[in-house]
Structure 1
Amino acid sequence: MQLHRSNLKRVFFVSLSLVVISLMACNGGDNATPGQMAEKGSGDNNTILGAGSTFIYPLFSKLFSEYHKKTGLQVNYQSIGSGGGILQLTNKTVDFGASDAPLNEEQEQKMGVPALHIPMCAGAVVLSYNLSNMKDTVKLTPEIIANIFLGKIKTWNDPQIAAVNSGTQLPSTPIVVVHRSDGSGTTNIFTTYLSKVNAQWNTKPGKGSSINWPIGLGGKGNEGVAGLVKQTPGAIGYIELAYAIQNKMAFASVQNKAGKFITPSVASTSAAGNIQLPADAKISLTNTDAADGYPISGFSWALIYKEQSYNNRSQEKAGKLLDLLWWNIHEGQEYCEPLNYARLSPEAVTVAENILKSATFNGQPILKK
């Protein structure tokens, strides 16, 4: 698809500014790299280092700020994408990673030792669009979403979109697809959904945290995609619900498996996440069977090594990390809904508790709760 020269300039400058924002995006304004963070925090038992998911960054910022007020513990978290967080944990330059996709077999093999997945919350991935004169919410079906991101639907007044948006004046504006350019759990959630609902997508390009996109512009992080969509007329991209709401961006209602057009919200995300979890908490919420559930939802996990005695870590630091994560899944849950995340169900909290209790230091359980 050809973009006007003015739009290309705009996209370039937005992308450049978002790189700067991304470099600054860690708790307390610390703009150090993960390697520099590790050097600063390696010998400090009162500093915890984390990196990963941009999906959960707005919630983590609040949680870590509140926890610091209560305990004095400093948590430095870099919003660099799930793939980056997994890499930093693998390299042992952070105390925890954060991901919106569970580790795959290759990632587990690279770590070489067991890692734990502790669910923190559930969130919605929304289809945000830039149609400045549209007053009605656009409705999208699974087929339409797949065809847009496959490049088959090229304008907003395409007959397929018009058919499910009866009475809505759709413009002839060209569609500009925006996707993630970095390894991303948000991408994993979105492409897992597309692979479940569209046979062609499942065959190619498929699902994963990083795929070969058929078309579109790439943005780094949820911040980058949100910025590109907001600045590009006719654009559509997938971002976490909190980013869309905070940036006052329009987003579509999506038809779920029950045939209902569901508006993404805390309630519809909670409905999708109210399921039985396996003991390791690794599960997909996409294309939910829940009649009132939003179909592009997913958990976000904190990732830690099961055995915490490594790299000359102290038992005190390991204990503070687990106390932090325990607080996140209990008292910290009160901050989820105000920031448009779904809190963990009681069953999910129990599963998360059991996972945290399995963490050890020199083979002995760390938590005595």
Structure 2
Amino acid sequence: MLNQSARAAATGAAALLPLLLTGCLVEGSGSAVSRGTLSGDILGSGATFPDPLFQQWMSYYNTSIETGTSIDYQAIGSGEGIEQFLAQEVDFGSSERYLQASELLVAREVRGCEAVQFPVVFGAVVIALNDPALDGLILDSEVIAGIYDRRVTRYDDPAIAELNPDLDLPGREIVPVHRSDGSGTTYVFTSYLANEVGFWAEEYAGGTDIDWHDDTVGGDGNDGVAQAVGASPGGLGYVNQSYALRNGLATARVVNEDGTPIEPTLAATTAASEEAEIPDDFQFSIDDIGGDGYPITGANWVLAYECGYNNDTADVLRDFWAWALTDAEADRFASDLGYAPMGRGLKERVLTEIQRINSS
């Protein structure tokens, strides 16, 4: 543990890291005044949850910040992304869950050094609906679990009607859509249900891969779930908020820990993220959210290594993620797509962690 003076020094140094890394001075608009020249081709893979944001960040960085770089990201799902990261097939991974102890051990054995993992953004997992007339439908954890366990099969079920006394509910069958691939979005969604609903914890638990009820529909990636919801009368599925926005899907309000139905807005996602207690190892969940917070909120972690990169690759990895966390334009991209950028204090802690990349 750092003492108070040492921690203050580390925090101050972290605030200067984006400047020290590449000699860059960045205006409030995010445009570079002067900057060093980096070069290198970087490949990452993993979660579809942050993919819209990652693609915007990487395109802007490659074309406007460091034009000698090429950063590519393949959205293949958190599960497969972790597998490729541990198999050393990519330069970095991405997931909506942090690496477990067994995976950290594998990383150490295959690479010969520690893995580095840090959060970069928060986002809401929304309940997307096929029917625009149902936008703002109120659901709680018991009803959502019941829908996916097929205990609740119609929109006019008494449990839904009780939550929505002023809404004329259709007598239509609900078609629940889930992720068919190993998914961090599934991890956030099912961990929320396991934390809130007793029978879900016993029968399904939380994880990236779930043994779903036979009468549910699978979709590949957030895009696949959004498309299946949009194509299925009565469709209902869980996706990252940006995918619901991009596909023009209605979304439900979800009752949080204080009994308040919360719309999945950027402000509600930010409110939930601010309730999270984040330890020094950045291994955390966002549970029991009340107040103005949206209750199904998750973080995205980036995975890298303390060793094994050539200097060009390591420089680009450190600089890109430092830029993504400190540049005003990067934050604007996140907000426009419905993601919640991290607060200043957490960013400073993460910037220090980023410096562990290739430090051994």
Please say if residues 126 and 296 of structure 1, whose CA atoms lie closer than 8 Å, have aligned partners that are also in contact: yes
Letter matched to residue 329 of structure 1: L
Q: CA RMSD in A?
A: 1.5
Please say if residues 44 and 90 of structure 2, whose CA atoms lie closer than 8 Å, have aligned partners that are also in contact: yes
Letter matched to residue 340 of structure 1: G
Letter matched to residue 79 of structure 1: A
Letter matched to residue 120 of structure 2: M
1:321 aligned residue: 317
CA distance in 1, matches of 2:311, 2:42: 13
Aligned-pair distance for 1:320? 1.3
SS at 1:75's partner residue? strand
2:260 aligned residue: 260
Residue 339 of structure 2 corresponds to residue 344 of structure 1: no
Please say if residues 129 and 135 of structure 2, whose CA atoms lie closer than 8 Å, have aligned partners that are also in contact: no
Aligned-pair distance for 1:301? 1.1
2:204 aligned residue: 205
Please say if residues 77 and 181 of structure 2, whose CA atoms lie closer than 8 Å, have aligned partners that are also in contact: yes
Letter matched to residue 128 of structure 1: A
CA distance in 2, matches of 1:135, 1:100: 28
Please say if residues 176 and 236 of structure 1, whose CA atoms lie closer than 8 Å, have aligned partners that are also in contact: yes
1:86 aligned residue: 82
Among 77, 99, 104, the alignment partner of 2:100 is 104
2:24 aligned residue: none
1:35 aligned residue: none
1:63 aligned residue: 57
> What are the residue-to-residue correspondences of 1:157-306 with 2, within 5 Å?
157-215=156-214, 216-274=216-274, 275-289=276-290, 291-305=291-305
The Cα offsets for residues 72-131 of structure 1, whole Å up to 9 and x where unpaired, read as 111111010111111111111110001111112332233234222121110000001112
CA distance in 1, matches of 2:150, 2:287: 22
SS at 1:324's partner residue? helix
Residue 152 of structure 2 corresponds to residue 153 of structure 1: yes
CA distance in 2, matches of 1:343, 1:268: 13
Among 352, 356, 361, the alignment partner of 2:354 is 356
The Cα offsets for residues 52-86 of structure 1, whole Å up to 9 and x where unpaired, read as 11000000011001101210111111010111111
Letter matched to residue 143 of structure 2: I
Please say if residues 40 and 312 of structure 2, whose CA atoms lie closer than 8 Å, have aligned partners that are also in contact: no
Aligned-pair distance for 1:136? 5.0
Please say if residues 281 and 351 of structure 1, whose CA atoms lie closer than 8 Å, have aligned partners that are also in contact: no
Normalising by the residue count of structure 1, what TM-score does the alignment of the two structures yield? 0.82
Please say if residues 229 and 237 of structure 1, whose CA atoms lie closer than 8 Å, have aligned partners that are also in contact: yes
CA distance in 2, matches of 1:304, 1:283: 18
Q: Which runs of 5+ in 1 are unaligned?
A: 1-43, 364-369
Please say if residues 134 and 252 of structure 2, whose CA atoms lie closer than 8 Å, have aligned partners that are also in contact: no
SS at 2:194's partner residue? helix
2:28 aligned residue: none
Letter matched to residue 114 of structure 2: P
Please say if residues 273 and 345 of structure 1, whose CA atoms lie closer than 8 Å, have aligned partners that are also in contact: no
CA distance in 1, matches of 2:292, 2:243: 22
CA distance in 2, matches of 1:357, 1:263: 37
SS at 2:348's partner residue? helix
1:36 aligned residue: none
Please say if residues 173 and 234 of structure 2, whose CA atoms lie closer than 8 Å, have aligned partners that are also in contact: yes
| Aligned-residue identity in percent | 36
Residue 48 of structure 2 corresponds to residue 48 of structure 1: no
CA distance in 2, matches of 1:175, 1:120: 35
> What are the residue-to-residue correspondences of 1:10-49 with 2, within 5 Å?
46-49=40-43
SS at 1:354's partner residue? helix
Please say if residues 287 and 296 of structure 1, whose CA atoms lie closer than 8 Å, have aligned partners that are also in contact: no
CA distance in 2, matches of 1:357, 1:49: 19
Please say if residues 277 and 351 of structure 1, whose CA atoms lie closer than 8 Å, have aligned partners that are also in contact: no
CA distance in 1, matches of 2:134, 2:143: 20
CA distance in 1, matches of 2:124, 2:96: 11
Please say if residues 49 and 75 of structure 1, whose CA atoms lie closer than 8 Å, have aligned partners that are also in contact: yes
Number of equivalences: 313
Please say if residues 125 and 296 of structure 1, whose CA atoms lie closer than 8 Å, have aligned partners that are also in contact: yes
